[in-house]
Structure 1
Amino acid sequence: MKGIPMSAGAQGNEELIKRARRVTAAEVYDIGTRFPAVYTEADGSWMTDVEGNRCLDVTAASGALLLGNRNPHVVGAINRYIAEHGVVFASTLSLPRIELAERLCEWFPAGEKAVFTKTGSEATTTAIRLARAASGKDLIVTSGYHGWHDWHTGFLTMGYDAGTRTVTFGYNETALERLLTEFADRIAGVIVTPEPAWFGADYYQRLSALCAKHGVLFIIDEVITSFRYGQHGLNGTGGVPADIITMSKGLANGHAIAAILGKAEVMDCYDAAGIAGTYTREVPPMAAALAVLDVLADGSALANARKQGTTLMNGMRDILDAVGIPAFVGGPPMMFDVVVPSEALSWDLYRAAFDYGAYFEDSGTHMVTTSFTDSDTDHALTAFEKGARKVAATTNFEPGGLSVDRKAEFAAEAFGGNPVDSAEVLAKIDTMVRRIAAGTQA
């Protein structure tokens, strides 16, 4: 059908990537950090490129997929809704929106009311707008990645940005305690993205309690962890109280929707925060999200994913140990991290695994879907082992485990983590506090 290209004709991956370079691709985001393939279809966690090569996706489409591609429950729900009801209405309210809000509020302890956006970046921006409107205060204190919007571009740098009125505390508890002690009357909210390979639930419980002590709203950015940390996210499974949580990836199994849940008195500031958006009312993704919740309800789908993720995680750890590559492997089985001696080595390992039919995330964070089977996991491990042995044969490594310095370097480069009270970090905290007090950048 003209207008819906389903075939590349005689063009292969290399030719199509060149074509994309001319008209659409960003050199780093679309090409430099991806492996060389243009995909035409996917089923479960398997993808097929324009040359007919099949590859197992071990990124869960960067976390967007929870059940795998073409899940029949989700496909059926969307097709039925469009065929029988439509796509978007003049009113912002629909039956699926109301039911989805009700069910999410039952699912997550933080939820008394829920509103919806299309992306995770929109959800976190909505959360800080709500926090500012509800509190009447201005400063946002943050750690971790919350999307690409302007208020958050400096997330890797510990410090104060007077232009966006945000303070990045680098997951450092000393920094957060000092900020809350000195500036609670100016802080609208604290928003943190969980990094479960690095900090346990007890860490986030302490942050939550510290915010409550100072009367400051605590926001958990669960865009990724809402189902992958556990069936009820860090908020429920991890027992971490929050005033607002955000979620998106996996919620509608790849369809664009995000949710913001929170206390009623905070969510009721939606109008005062000036939040709007035509496509927040698009209904099929809400029908998809309801189908996802149906699939997850009895716990068996997530139990399988946790089983497969555990096997994969342990297997990758064993393979790296066997070939002599120092590594740290940790986190919950549905979203675990693998850290090796350098970023370049990480790329080499996963690029080699790609040649054997498995698409891992080159940054080292790996995610499975509920569609993974034992044979899928075996395939991923076989591809990873072949790639690791190939790379190890031509690379020299220092014997022993991964150094503490490398782990700290990874944390700082991946999510701005500076949790240790070194002299350098304590100096940054002092500088940050002085700049906030003075209301200046320098």
Structure 2
Amino acid sequence: MNNEICENAEQLLSVIGTYIDSPIDHHSNGRVMFSRGKGAYLFDYNGKDYIDLMNGKGAILLGHNDPDIHDALRRFLEQDGEILTGPSKPIVDLAERIKQDSPLPDVKVSFYATGTAACRAAVYAAREYSKKRIVISAGYHGWDPMWKQKAAFLEPNDEGVIEFYFIPELLERALAAYKDQVAVVIFSPDYTYLSGATLDRIISICRSHGVLVCCDDVKQGYRYRQGSSLEMVTEQKADIYVFSKGLSNGHRISCVVSTEEIMLATKEHTFTSYYQMLPVISALETLQKMEACQGYDFIRSYSKSIVQGLSELFARSLLPIEVNGGAMFQLVFGDEDLEKSLYAEAYRQGIILFEGDNQAVSLSMDEAVQKDLIHRFANVVDVLSEKYAHLRGKGVTNEQTFRFAWNMIDGASDILPYQEQLPILYELIGEDET
């Protein structure tokens, strides 16, 4: 039976593999499909278990198939509460919950299906409010042609978007060049490489130019604390916030939060599934559970323990591998072949990683899971230490770390001095420095 299922899975992936993202089975040069998930673990159709550090690219905050969410959804469905024609009490309750967590007074909340859609809506609202078109951006805001980079440095793409790569000096240059044309500066705050002082400086520059600030907290919001994680590192506030991944343990829901006058532009933003309640119920249960069990404190604690354990393991191996970050962390390598081999061996040892990007810790990763995870990573290191003995003692350079942060599309500007960043930036965007 398992063989039949796996053959069908291979047929399915051969048809849609171009369009979906699933962990690679490096051993068989195929892709793995999962039959079920429980807590920190996923299981394939052959019964093999994996510890999941991808966690839906950070969306699975509680762990897979959380029983409390299942119970809440089951109770709701048994009450025949799923009505798509108009609003019901749960969506109002969720909006009120998010408003209470906002640092802004008298806010409004507008819901969307994805973080990508919410970011586009936030820009739309800012443009309508300011009557200006140019958007200055840093970070990742979703898979949308709107954010496609233009090769020309500090020039707007066809959608009027300019990238400043989290570099305050470039933000200053862009704001000076497009004075009185900028509707909003939108950035996705990174806590792996950027200091609070840099984020504070970015907002201060925006304030000095009288430009709206949008904090795209799709990835980081409701992960370290209730609401925006930006408040952990600066007392300054954004004008618009976007949330998604931390809200509902993987169910499709996002939101834009801002003042009433800015949010007027989103009044007519409705779509076919706008009143779909299952993501709302999941979000309410997720937020309630995280608050009731001090989940944010546990996630920070689990992350610290995992990062420390991995750092000690890699340090003992003398291989050029580093771990940077917290509740979301990144593996950084001093050798490209070593990087490829680690991901391949991690899969064989039953660890699902988000290759080249940030790994996400869930609330299900308790002490027992952490012990299992470090044990599996130790097996990985044993294999790599023998294969890459010639790399022992070699470190990871600041430039390599910069490039890894760049590939994650998060903040890299604190890793190297401004003048050292520019040649690398020109190379990465494919433009002549002259």
Give the Å deviation of 1:184: 3.6
Q: 2:272 aligns with which of 265, 273, 278?
A: 278
Report matched runs for 1:29-428 at 5 Å.
29-30=21-22, 36-91=31-86, 93-110=87-104, 112-154=107-149, 159-239=154-234, 240-271=236-267, 275-298=269-292, 300-332=294-326, 334-395=327-388, 396-397=390-391, 399-415=393-409, 419=413, 420-422=417-419, 425=422
Structure-1 separation of matches of 2:245 and 2:44: 24
Counterpart in the other structure of 2:432:
none
Equivalent residue in structure 2 for 1:25, among 17, 20, 25? 17
Q: Contact 1:219 / 1:242 at 8 angstroms: preserved in 2?
A: yes
Q: Contact 1:21–1:27 (CA<8 Å) still a contact in 2?
A: no
Between Structure 1 and Structure 2, how many residues are aligned? Answer: 418
Q: TM-score, normalised to structure 1's length?
A: 0.87
Deviations 1:383-406 (A, max 9, x none): 111112212211232634311121
3-state SS of paired residue (2:137):
strand
Cα pair 1:64 1:254 within 8 Å, conserved: yes
Identity of matched residues, % = 23
Q: Which runs of 5+ in 1 are unaligned?
A: 1-7, 433-442
Is the 1:58–1:380 Cα contact (8 Å) retained in structure 2? no
1:200, distance to aligned residue in structure 2 (A): 1.9
**Residue 226 of structure 1: CA displacement?**
0.4
Q: Which amino acid aligns with 1:376?
A: V
Q: CA deviation at 1:417?
A: 5.3
- Cα pair 2:134 2:162 within 8 Å, conserved: yes
Q: Deviations over 1:242-293 (max 9, x none)?
A: 111111113111111111111222112214xx63312122111111111111
Distance 1:404 1:157, change over 3 A: farther
What SS does the corresponding residue of 2:55 show, helix, strand or coil?
coil
Q: Aligned letter for 2:73?
A: I
The 1:10–1:28 alpha-carbon spacing in structure 2 relative to 1, beyond 3 Å, is closer
Runs (4+) of structure 1 exceeding 6 A deviation are 426-429
> Aligned equivalents of 1:235 and 1:61: distance in 2?
22
Question: Which region of structure 1 is more displaced relative to structure 2, 106-115 or 20-29?
Answer: 20-29
C-alpha deviation, 1:336, in angstroms: 1.3
What is the alpha-carbon distance in structure 2 between the residues aligned to residue 277 and residue 18 of structure 1? 34
Measure the CA separation in 1 of the matches of 2:274 and 2:153.
33
Cα distance, 1:79 vs structure 2: 1.7
Gaps spanning 5+ residues in structure 2: where? Answer: 430-434
Kindly provide the amino acid, as one letter, of the partner of residue 15 in structure 2: V
What residue identity is the alignment partner of 1:313?
Answer: V
